[in-house]
């Protein structure tokens, strides 16, 4: 017993715990060996071992066989840092600035700062971002998954987030095997349905779809396209669908448009994965001497600045800033311990069609 009446192992355990909590022992830092502790504190090895065992049981330290004992990385995240990590596929263009602005509107008001990263829609870069963030002081994570139609390559990193009790939510996409995790999505199948149905209502029958194959948004928008055709009694023709991937998104749509013109297989209308692809398609048609909507109708998706230029592109409204605000509100719920019963796992945003000058009614 020590002078305060507590067992020696308990006093040592409390002293080490206080050093860990105060930051004098940092997460990942190697602790002295049992022999070093016995000399430093004039204690038996059995007493030291008992104190370390209690700390390990409580998650303050981790013993690595053959390497020694380390302060747990979990401790990096035990103190409130007031930092939220935001990982998106892109940052500086398209809809992302307003999406991030929406998050900042809510988080800054609550005293949080954003740590911003982007993956370029690369699963390898996503893994690297997660590895880096696990070494930083963050209270939560908002993430747009990369190539969300494919299986997650690094589930262990998400398991580590849970191990360190860092809440995370997905936005704009989610891995199939992680659908039970909190997420906010557009109802993309409904959006794809609305733009296709609009073209059908304008008298178009031969409608081509340009869809992204490696993101779940593209798969869902394609589903909506198929449903609208089926409702109109038009057989689905896979030859009218152009699939592209992240790596060839800047070249394949344009190449395929020019091939359609060259072979005389141009449709009445084209449903595009998003506004960026719609602009690429329109520019390629103009390069071939065709006019939109005089010769062909084109739709986009997201209601980005691209869709609002000139006479505009018929598109689906994306509540960019509001989605960011919703994401921030949801991660704060998770940080504050709102139960799953009171906080839905899935929040689905309903799309809205915006009609502009890129489509015309067929006679």
- Per DSSP, what are the bridge partners of residue 171? 184
Band of the pLDDT at 135, cuts 50, 70, 90? confident
**For residue 191, what are its two tokens?**
């959006």
pLDDT for residue 140 is more than 70: yes
Backbone phi, psi, residue 222, to 5°: -65, -40
Q: How far apart (Å, rounded) are the C-alpha atoms in residues 243 and 241?
A: 6
5: left (phi over 0), alpha (psi -120 to 50) or beta: left
Q: Which secondary-structure segment (H or E) carries 196? A: helix 188-201
Q: Which of 78-82, 312-316, 351-355 has the lowest mean pLDDT?
A: 78-82
Band of the pLDDT at 31, cuts 50, 70, 90? very high
Which whole number is the average pLDDT over 254-281?
A: 97
Residue 163 has a pLDDT of 84
Which whole number is the average pLDDT over 64-93?
A: 86
Which whole number is the average pLDDT over 328-343?
A: 83
Residue 342 has a pLDDT of 57
What pLDDT, in 10s, does the model give residues 111-126? 999 999 999 999 999 9
Residue 285 has a pLDDT of 98
User: Among 8, 21, 4, 22, which Cα is nearest to 52's?
Assistant: 8
**For residue 323, what are its two tokens?**
């989605």
Q: How far apart (Å, rounded) are the C-alpha atoms in residues 307 and 93?
A: 14
Q: Are 106 and 325 in contact (CB under 8 A)?
A: yes
* DSSP secondary structure letters along 298-334: EE-SB--GGGGSTT--BEEE--HHHHHHHHHHHHHHH
User: Which residue carries 């949801």 as its tokens?
Assistant: 330
What pLDDT, in 10s, does the model give residues 41-74? 999 999 999 999 999 998 889 998 888 999 988 7
Residue 27 has a pLDDT of 86
């Amino acid at each position: 017993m020590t002078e305060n009446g507590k067992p020696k192992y308990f006093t040592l355990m409390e002293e080490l715990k206080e050093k860990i909590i105060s930051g004098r022992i940092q997460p990942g830092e190697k602790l002295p060996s049992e022999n070093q502790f016995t000399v430093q504190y004039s204690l038996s090895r059995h007493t030291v071992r008992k104190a370390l065992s209690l700390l390990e049981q409580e998650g303050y330290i981790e013993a690595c066989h053959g390497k020694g004992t380390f302060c747990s990385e979990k401790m990096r995240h035990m103190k409130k840092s007031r930092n939220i990590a935001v990982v998106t596929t892109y940052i500086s263009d398209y809809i992302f600035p307003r999406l991030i602005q929406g998050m900042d509107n809510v988080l800054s008001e609550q005293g949080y700062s954003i740590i911003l990263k982007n993956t370029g829609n690369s699963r390898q870069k996503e893994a690297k971002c997660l590895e880096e963030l696990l070494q930083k002081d963050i209270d939560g994570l908002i993430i747009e998954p990369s190539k969300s139609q494919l299986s997650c390559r690094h589930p262990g990193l998400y398991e580590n987030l849970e191990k360190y009790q860092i809440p995370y939510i997905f936005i704009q996409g989610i891995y199939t095997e992680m659908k039970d995790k909190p997420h906010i999505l557009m109802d993309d199948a409904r959006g794809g349905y609305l733009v296709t149905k609009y073209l059908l209502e304008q008298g178009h029958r031969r409608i081509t779809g340009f869809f992204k194959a490696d993101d779940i948004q593209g798969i869902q928008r394609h589903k909506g396209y198929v449903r609208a055709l089926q409702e109109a009694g038009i057989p689905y023709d896979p030859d009218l669908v152009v699939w592209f991937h992240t790596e060839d998104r800047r070249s394949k749509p344009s190449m395929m448009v020019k091939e359609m013109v060259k072979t005389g297989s141009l449709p009445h209308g084209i449903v595009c994965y998003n506004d960026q692809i719609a602009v690429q398609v329109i520019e390629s048609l103009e390069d071939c001497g065709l006019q939109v909507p005089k010769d062909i109708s084109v739709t986009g998706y997201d209601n980005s600045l691209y869709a609002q230029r000139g006479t505009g592109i018929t598109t689906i409204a994306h509540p960019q800033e509001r989605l960011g605000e919703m994401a921030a509100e949801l991660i704060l719920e998770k940080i504050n311990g709102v139960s799953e019963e009171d906080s839905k796992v899935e929040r689905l945003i309903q799309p809205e069609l915006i009609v502009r000058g890129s489509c015309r009614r067929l006679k």
